[in-house]
Structure 1
């Protein structure tokens, strides 16, 4: 049986693309006692509220008809955001060389957060260029990698 997120991804992809956007991620999570189904979208030049609204309206009807989730949930369509998490190998490829924030599960050299430029990705292991040095973090140590915007 497919996971809810896989089924929703298949339903959402054509709708998102028809609206000139890219499907970034689908998440189905429980927060504060309520289930949330979130569709994250992206497009060149950025996503605006009208993009989110158009996709939400079109996809809501499709989800009602397909009924991939038996219980009640809150449905949201949102921009992937400027500081989006990188999860899939393609995400890392797309943003190679970009500034990122990496968080570890346990302290490494006395800390759990590292900022640098994404320098490599190999089967879940992430390499950052921090100043003039490169530091590799193995897959099982990495809790999160997200883009970093410096203002």
Structure 2
């Protein structure tokens, strides 16, 4: 799953939580011309643009003082959205029996992209009922090592 290359979670999470928000995840996209540091925040009643602005101002100050990223970057603060990406194993637990799409680092049976329902999660494995071609789900759960998951995202079905 996505990694926090500068260990910013440790630096930023206490301040963000003190403001009443949860740090859902961090992405960093390095680029020599326009790197992007994207923070996803969440709270019980949802996130609005004002929430993003408040957190952005606080985080910008912390990053200026501690200066963990030496290259130029743009800071973005966002809601994780309905089709949120997962960053940590415990995030899967809140979405049991929900459909997720995930991409593996190493292919299984010549495939890297799958969909399935979350059955259970441990610190090392995700138990999934895989979506089959006929829109049914496998009866036997499949254990996927979390270390092999490159990206995982909630699938919204309206």
Name the TM-score, length of structure 2 as normaliser: 0.76
- Please say if residues 4 and 68 of structure 1, whose CA atoms lie closer than 8 Å, have aligned partners that are also in contact: no
Q: CA deviation at 1:141?
A: 4.8
Indicate the residue corresponding to 1:16 in structure 2: 16
Higher normalized contact order (CA 8 Å, seq sep 6+, divided by chain length): 2
- Aligned-partner Cα distance in 2 for 1:70–1:111: 37
Structure 1 runs of 4+ aligned residues shifted over 6 Å read none
Indicate the residue corresponding to 2:142 in structure 1: 136
Q: Structure 2 unaligned runs (5+)? A: 132-136
The 5-angstrom pairing of residues 97-112 of structure 1 reads: 97-104=97-104, 105-106=106-107, 108=109, 111-112=111-112
SS at match of 2:30: strand
Change (3 A) 1:31 1:150: farther
SS at match of 1:113: strand
Change (3 A) 1:19 1:115: same
Change (3 A) 1:147 1:74: same
- Please say if residues 101 and 116 of structure 2, whose CA atoms lie closer than 8 Å, have aligned partners that are also in contact: yes
Any idea what the Cα deviations from partners look like across 1:50-83, whole Å, max 9, x if unmatched? 1000110122122112222222111111112222
- Aligned-partner Cα distance in 1 for 2:76–2:15: 14
The 5-angstrom pairing of residues 83-102 of structure 1 reads: 83-102=83-102
The alignment yields a C-alpha RMSD, in angstroms, of 2.5
Name the TM-score, length of structure 1 as normaliser: 0.79
* Alignment length (residue pairs): 147
